[in-house]
């Protein structure tokens, strides 16, 4: 299971709502960009079927968990700031199914055994 780090960067976040907020204004706002580095991990699985000596078909799956992303300070379109809290993108994951083919153009001869001398 591979693991590492994911840097999630947001820029120009905009949220446009079609209904008024609790104070009568529309709740549309935009936010500055931000970045956050998280622990990330992935799990892989797959199968390959050798059709003939030169052609292989492969089906693979990957689950990737990148953690949480954030954006910077938000404000309404009229310039009113939205407190100190930031909006979070939680549990950013990716599930990928991949279909691949491999073509071998030439038959490679097997390696020759090493010559061993005694005495």
**pTM for the predicted model, two decimal places:** 0.64
Q: Write the pLDDT tens digit of every residue in 18-34.
A: 665 566 555 677 777 88
**List of E strands, 1-119:** 3-10, 13-15, 29-31, 34-52, 55-65, 69-70, 74-76, 88-89, 93-103
In this predicted structure, what is the pLDDT of residue 119?
63
């Amino acid at each position: 299971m591979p693991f590492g780090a994911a840097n999630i960067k947001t820029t120009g976040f905009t949220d446009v709502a079609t209904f008024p907020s609790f104070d009568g204004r529309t709740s549309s706002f935009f936010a500055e960009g931000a970045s956050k580095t998280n622990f990330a991990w992935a799990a892989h699985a797959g199968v390959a079927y050798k059709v003939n000596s030169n052609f292989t078909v492969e089906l693979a799956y990957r689950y990737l968990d990148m953690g949480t992303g954030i954006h910077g300070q938000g404000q309404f379109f009229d310039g009113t700031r939205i407190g100190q809290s930031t909006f979070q993108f939680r549990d950013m994951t990716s599930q990928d199914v991949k279909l691949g083919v491999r073509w071998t153009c030439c038959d490679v001869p097997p390696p020759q055994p090493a010559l061993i001398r005694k005495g």
